[in-house]
Amino acid sequence: DAGVIQSPRHEVTEMGQEVTLRCKPISGHNSLFWYRQTMMRGLELLIYFNNNVPIDDSGMPEDRFSAKMPNASFSTLKIQPSEPRDSAVYFCASRIQGRSGQPQHFGDGTRLSIL
């Protein structure tokens, strides 16, 4: 079975540029999460969706960050404009929502470097 697929795996760009990260969840999973991982703060939840609808975006650091889920098989996380402090590894995870105790399944992340 295909797991969660993220692209690109690595992104290096200059400050001020727009960055778009992409995620394809596991088929049949109806809940999708975006996380950011840094050495300083560990794994932080940015936003999550249930059935393609954003439920909680309280972890999104600023208005420069936005996320969409136009259908059940695709989500994007966009940063515009990007800043050096946005450098981190960004993970997407999916799970089956509505069944107690279902674990999240993670992609292999996008390593983002803003110069």
Task: Give the tokens for residue 88.
Answer: 């981190």
Among 16, 43, 84, 85, binds another protein (CB under 8 A): 43
Distance CA(54)–CA(18), nearest Å, equals 21
Query: What values do phi and psi take at 85, rounded to 5?
Result: -70, -5
When the beta carbons of 14 and 39 are compared against another protein, the nearer one is 39
25 contact partners, CB below 8 Å, separation of at least 6: 4, 32, 72, 73, 75, 92, 94
Element (H, E) at 108: none
Among 88, 91, 94, 112, binds another protein (CB under 8 A): 91
Task: Give the tokens for residue 57.
Answer: 């975006």
Query: In the complex, what is the shortest distance from the CB of residue 108 to another protein, in angstroms, rounded to a whole number?
Result: 5
Binding mask 50-89 for another protein (x = CB under 8 A): x----xx-x-------------------------------
Nearest-5° Cα angle at 115, 67 to 37: 50
Query: In the complex, what is the shortest distance from the CB of residue 60 to another protein, in angstroms, rounded to a whole number?
Result: 13
Query: In the complex, what is the shortest distance from the CB of residue 99 to another protein, in angstroms, rounded to a whole number?
Result: 11
Give contact residues for another protein (rule: CB under 8 A). 4, 31, 42-43, 45, 48, 50, 55-56, 58, 91, 93, 97, 100-101, 103-109, 111
